[in-house]
Amino acid sequence: MEVPNVAEKWMGCVRKVTIGATKEQGGTRGNIVTVGGAKSIPYMDFEGEQGCKPVIAMDVLDTVPEDWPDALKEPFKDVLNSPAKWAKKCVEQYGADMVCLKLDSIHPDKGNKSAEEAVATVKSILQAVSVPLIIWGCEHNETDNAVMPKVSQAAKGERCLLAGASQDNYKIIAAVCLADGHCLVTQAPVDINIGKQVNILVSDLGFPLDRIIMFQTTGALGYGMEYVYSIQERERIAALSGDNLLGMPVICNVGYESWRAKEAKASDAEAPQWGSCVERGPMWETITAATLLQSGVDIIRMYHPKAVAAVKKFTQDLA
Residue-wise pLDDT for 86-114, tens only, equals 999 999 999 999 999 999 999 999 999 99
Q: Which of 56, 110, 101, 65 shows the shortest CA–CA distance to 83?
A: 101
- In this prediction, residues 9-13 reach a mean pLDDT of 90
- Which pLDDT score is estimated for 317? 87
Q: What is the pLDDT of residues 224-236, one digit of tens each?
A: 999 999 999 999 9
For residue 46, what pLDDT is reported?
85
**Mean pLDDT score, 139-159:** 97
Range 243-268 average pLDDT = 95
> Averaged over 149-177, what is the pLDDT?
97
pTM given for the model: 0.95
DSSP category for residue 234: H
Cis check for the bond before 164: say yes or no (omega within 30 of 0). yes
CA dist list (Å): 196 to 26, 64, 213, 231, 312: 32, 35, 12, 12, 30
Helices 192-204 and 225-240 pack at an angle, to 10 degrees, of 50
Question: Which whole number is the average pLDDT over 283-299?
Answer: 96
Better-scored residue on pLDDT, 255 or 66: 255
* % of the chain residues with pLDDT over 70: 98
How confident is the prediction for the chain on average, in pLDDT?
A: 95
Distance CA 197, CA 186 (A): 10
DSSP 100: E
Residue 1 pLDDT greater than 80, yes or no: no
CATH superfamily of 17-318: Dihydropteroate synthase-like (3.20.20.20)
Nearest residue to 15 via CA among 135, 186, 129, 164: 186
The whole-number average pLDDT for the span 124-144 is 97
Mean pLDDT of 50-58: 96
Per-residue model confidence (pLDDT) at position 6: 67
The confidence band for 5, taking pLDDT boundaries of 50, 70 and 90, is low
Mean pLDDT of 149-170: 97
How many Å from the N-terminal Cα to the C-terminal Cα in the chain? 29
- 205-214 mean pLDDT: 97
Q: How confident is residue 45, by pLDDT bands cut at 50, 70 and 90?
A: confident
